[in-house]
Amino acid sequence: MKYKQLGHSDLKVSELCLGTMTYGQQNTADEAAEQLDYAVAHGINFIDTAEMYPVPPKGETQGLTESYIGQWLARQKRDSLIIATKIAGPARGYDWIRNGPQVTRAHINAAIDDSLRRLQTDYVDLYQIHWPDRNVPMFGQTAFDPYAERETEPIIEQLAALADLVKAGKIRYYGLSNETPWGLAEFCHVADKAGLPRPVSLQNAYNLINRVYEYGLAEVGYRENVGLMAYSPLGFGMLSGKYQKNMNGSGRITLFPGFGQRYAKLNVAEAVEAYAGVAEEVGVSPAVLALAFVRSRWFVASTLIGATTMAQLQENISSLNVNLSSDTMAEIERIHQRYPNPAP
């Protein structure tokens, strides 16, 4: 396992980060603990969660993921682990989170206190805004709509509240998630102007069928020294091979109708089939190929992996043993040119 510095922070994170969004929905507390033990035993020191988890989000399960991690974390050496969680952004229908989550000072303070209680810890190493407070295209949307503008908390106010959490010792650093190039650059600019801490990380989707990060965010991340935490490296399981030829694979897309709609778009199935062919030529599983590709990218600080079974987790971690050749990377590029970003 290699460890990389996360942005300009002093956090040295494992190149694989354990995602936990299934804990409390598809995984029990005992199964979560088994996964966490296995991940740590194999060198993973970075664990990511969110107040909204598990997914799909529901009032009756909200917060269970953090609680399961907290039960496990209470038995661990805390300073050997890097724990990341997130505050939910504005969302319709999420009334079970503070009567509708926002990214205001009051919501930030309430959210971090609730997360710390569930996680059974005095601090989190990385606190992230799960998605922007302002109007942006998200989760499969691709076009900005100025007519969808709404009242939003000014970035300076969000930054000031996060800075106070750093001063209070409740968080060490903060990051962003599901952000745009303008948003990431603006957070850095406003922070510098006000003399407040900058974001150290960005958690955005990045995988073989969604490489949008490369087009604008990669430059911002490089110039502002913000590390990418690449989530959904398997494209909601599409790149694992379990949905090939049909949609009967056992996973979130089939278990929860309407979930992961970006993966039902034009050319997704064709691209997935093409990448599976490359994996066959290399002699690895489609999942291992997909993870090895993401891990190889110069801008990726850590690749988030998640699993519902131990077999899946073991396969994901085994991808560390695979480094793709220049010929394989060239073939991946040829497929990308044929099917550019079918699931943005």
How far is residue 194's CA from residue 191's CA, in Å, rounded to a whole number? 5
Burial (CB count within 10 angstroms: exposed 0-12, middle 13-18, buried 19+), residue 160: middle
215 assigned to active site: no
**271 token code pair:** 């691209």
State the residue for tokens 């922007």.
132
Question: 227: which strand partners?
Answer: 201
Catalytic residue among 23, 53, 174, 263: 53
Supply 172's token pair: 């060490």
d(CA 317, CA 291): 9
The label of the residue with tokens 């044929």 reads 338
Q: Helix axis angle, 268-282 relative to 326-338, nearest 10°? A: 170
Dihedral sign for Cα 65, 57, 312, 178, please. Answer: negative
123-147: buried (b, 16+ CB within 10 Å) or exposed (e) per residue? bbbbbbbbbbbbbbeeeeeeeeeee
Catalytic residue ranges? 53
